[in-house]
A and B are shown apart, each in its own frame.
Chain A
């Protein structure tokens, strides 16, 4: 593409300048008749015009003027137009005076006239060059943006997957350490449960979805560990539709929601609280079944930040990235002290990784 840009540039330069100069010479020829000197002068002007503007182009590129904001660019452009016009004038004026003295009445207006006339040509040149580059830059920026967005999405999706809460991990380890003396068997179970959770969290990075029954196992291990910490302050209940167990769900998503439920809900409640997870299937439009998972827990939805803003945003983002509009995530204050979150996940075939971005990108490149 760089090659053809080069060709376009030279084509424009040669034809442009030739046209401008020759039209003027032609008008002169019609007016005053043929004069070989004027042809040489015209040729020289074409060459001069091309070389001047070519060198000007070098200067622009070297100092990166095209990147400047309008306020800074405009005065520079005007100044250069004046300079270029002046150069053309000071070259042409003595020749013209020597060749056609009769046309000259010695007045400064002649000089001014020359500068204006060359100025117009130079201005046209500079403007077209600048505009062309502005347009090109915008287009380039758009393409880059789209490319970036789709590569960012891939990385984002990866990062969003594993969000194990360090607070939980260290508190769990602390509790297990305490149990080593108090109840060694429980300590052993705790270590197994924690290692399961860690393993799933690491694997979450590699897989886009997992079966719901695997995800629920992580949640159960997690709840077991939290029960060790909170003891009677935490009760839980898991109620899943048998058919939903084999549904594909994003890894660590349910886990994150349950974590939030405890971190921002149950933990903050003075007497403790409960967490309840339910799942069922519902038929939506076009006979497509979708998975519904509901998490109810003790708690109060404060402002976004307090209620684990990041975990919730993460969920909504991931669902959007993976499934687009058929998936959804909602969280409300069901009662004074009970929060209810619900996610809806379509079947795998309803679209993994949105096609729309890639289509848009291809259209622009073409």
Chain B
């Protein structure tokens, strides 16, 4: 299985060096190079790579900012850095994969094998294929997104997000015991999310249907839904009608 790969680093020599090392891995298919976020974003959009080798320190947007700017599903990422004390702590804390420059061949090999396993896992797991044509990128429960809130960052599978809550210009994601904020509007997210899994319960909330534990009738013809984890969300009357249709109650 080929892994379509993009190398992103502002130093030409660093990109060359990585290219040279990657020649040792026939499964890695280098589909392009970018020197900064501005070059990289359209390439990611158009080419839809499986894997990014991403330098963190770059002029303009840094590596994290680039990831946050990706509309839609985030590819697998292996970060590269010469030495960044804080980033390294963040990586270890969040189990993100990183490589230290100058890169050691066996560390690179391990990272690539991990990605390979991840990608295989994805393809056997998805019951419903999520289309990868640009312009029609609906995110389903197996897709992952990159989330950064202050110092913490995560790659989250959307299936683990049980609730989205609008907070003005931001949206709060609820997964595990984390509640980070992302700079996106709830409406924009709704357009992106698979309607079969994610339901707009009311003006402020989108819920993950797989996390519903209990449904009760509520005031004015609405419904009160309890999610696994305890959150209680009201479904407005109008939405309740659609909800019942959706679940064919």
Interface residues of A (CB under 8 A from B): 166-171, 173-175, 177-179, 181-182, 228-231, 267-270
Q: A231-B12, A267-B59 are in contact. Are A178 and B17 (CB under 8 A)?
A: yes
Q: A267-B57, A270-B36 are in contact. Are A178 and B14 (CB under 8 A)?
A: yes
A168 to B83 alpha-carbon distance, docked (Å): 8
Set of chain A residues within 8 Å of B100, measured between Cβ atoms = 170
Q: A166-B82, A270-B36 are in contact. Are A175 and B13 (CB under 8 A)?
A: yes
Judge if B42 is at the interface, Cβ distance under 8 Å: no
Q: A170-B101, A171-B11, A174-B14 are in contact. Are A269 and B59 (CB under 8 A)?
A: yes
Do residues A175 and B59 form an inter-chain contact, with CB atoms below 8 A? no
Do residues A174 and B13 form an inter-chain contact, with CB atoms below 8 A? yes
- Min Cβ gap A308→B in Å is 13
- Min Cβ gap B103→A in Å is 8
Judge if B132 is at the interface, Cβ distance under 8 Å: no
Judge if B60 is at the interface, Cβ distance under 8 Å: yes
How many interface residues does B have (CB within 8 Å)? Answer: 18
Do residues B20 and A181 form an inter-chain contact, with CB atoms below 8 A? yes
Give B46-61 as 1s and 0s: 1 = Cβ < 8 Å from A's Cβ atoms.
Answer: 0000000000010110
> Residue on A with the closest CB to B38?
A270
A168 to B11 alpha-carbon distance, docked (Å): 13
Do residues A171 and B82 form an inter-chain contact, with CB atoms below 8 A? yes
Give B1-42 as 1s and 0s: 1 = Cβ < 8 Å from A's Cβ atoms.
Answer: 000000000011110110010000000000000001000000
Set of chain A residues within 8 Å of B59, measured between Cβ atoms = 267-270
| 27 A-B contacts (beta carbon < 8 Å) | A166-B82, A166-B83, A167-B57, A168-B82, A169-B82, A170-B83, A170-B100, A170-B102, A171-B82, A174-B13, A174-B82, A174-B101, A174-B102, A177-B17, A178-B13, A178-B16, A178-B20, A179-B13, A182-B13, A182-B16, A229-B14, A230-B11, A231-B12, A268-B59, A268-B60, A270-B59, A270-B60
> Residue on A with the closest CB to B103?
A174
Set of chain A residues within 8 Å of B84, measured between Cβ atoms = 167
Q: A175-B11, A268-B59, A270-B36 are in contact. Are A167 and B17 (CB under 8 A)?
A: no
Consensus secondary structure, chain A interface: helix
Do residues B11 and A177 form an inter-chain contact, with CB atoms below 8 A? no
Set of chain B residues within 8 Å of A182, measured between Cβ atoms = 13, 16
> Residue on A with the closest CB to B102?
A174
Interface contacts beyond A171-B82, A175-B17: sample of 20 additional A-B pairs, CB < 8 Å, sorted by A: A166-B82, A166-B83, A167-B57, A167-B82, A169-B83, A170-B82, A171-B11, A173-B102, A174-B13, A174-B82, A174-B102, A175-B14, A178-B17, A181-B20, A229-B13, A229-B14, A267-B57, A267-B59, A268-B59, A269-B59
- Min Cβ gap A267→B in Å is 6
CB < 8 Å neighbour of B101 from A171, A179, A230, A231: A171
Interface residues of B in 80-107 (CB under 8 A from A): 82-84, 100-103
Consensus secondary structure, chain B interface: loop
Set of chain A residues within 8 Å of B12, measured between Cβ atoms = 231
A270 to B59 alpha-carbon distance, docked (Å): 5
Interface centre among B13, B20, B60, B83, by most A CB within 10 Å? B13
A171 to B100 alpha-carbon distance, docked (Å): 10
Set of chain B residues within 8 Å of A231, measured between Cβ atoms = 12
Do residues B20 and A228 form an inter-chain contact, with CB atoms below 8 A? no
> Residue on B with the closest CB to A231?
B12
A170 to B101 alpha-carbon distance, docked (Å): 6
Set of chain B residues within 8 Å of A179, measured between Cβ atoms = 13
A188 to B78 alpha-carbon distance, docked (Å): 30
- Min Cβ gap B10→A in Å is 8
Set of chain A residues within 8 Å of B60, measured between Cβ atoms = 268, 270
Set of chain A residues within 8 Å of B82, measured between Cβ atoms = 166-171, 174
Set of chain B residues within 8 Å of A169, measured between Cβ atoms = 82-83
Q: A230-B11, A231-B12 are in contact. Are A174 and B17 (CB under 8 A)?
A: yes
Interface residues of B in 41-77 (CB under 8 A from A): 57, 59-60
A182 to B13 alpha-carbon distance, docked (Å): 9
A269 to B59 alpha-carbon distance, docked (Å): 6
- Min Cβ gap A279→B in Å is 29
A228 to B12 alpha-carbon distance, docked (Å): 10
- Min Cβ gap A10→B in Å is 59
> Residue on B with the closest CB to A268?
B59
A166 to B85 alpha-carbon distance, docked (Å): 10
A178 to B83 alpha-carbon distance, docked (Å): 18
Set of chain B residues within 8 Å of A267, measured between Cβ atoms = 57, 59
> Residue on B with the closest CB to A173?
B102
Interface centre among B36, B82, B100, B101, by most A CB within 10 Å? B82
Interface centre among A168, A174, A179, A228, by most B CB within 10 Å? A174
Do residues B102 and A177 form an inter-chain contact, with CB atoms below 8 A? yes
Set of chain B residues within 8 Å of A181, measured between Cβ atoms = 20
6 A-B pairs closest in CB distance: A170-B82, A178-B13, A178-B17, A166-B83, A174-B101, A171-B82
Give B133-155 as 1s and 0s: 1 = Cβ < 8 Å from A's Cβ atoms.
Answer: 00000000000000000000000
A179 to B13 alpha-carbon distance, docked (Å): 7
Set of chain A residues within 8 Å of B14, measured between Cβ atoms = 171, 174-175, 178, 229
Set of chain A residues within 8 Å of B36, measured between Cβ atoms = 270
Do residues A228 and B83 form an inter-chain contact, with CB atoms below 8 A? no
A230 to B59 alpha-carbon distance, docked (Å): 11
> Residue on A with the closest CB to B82?
A170
- Min Cβ gap A168→B in Å is 8
> Residue on B with the closest CB to A272?
B59
Interface centre among A178, A228, A268, by most B CB within 10 Å? A178
> Residue on A with the closest CB to B101?
A174
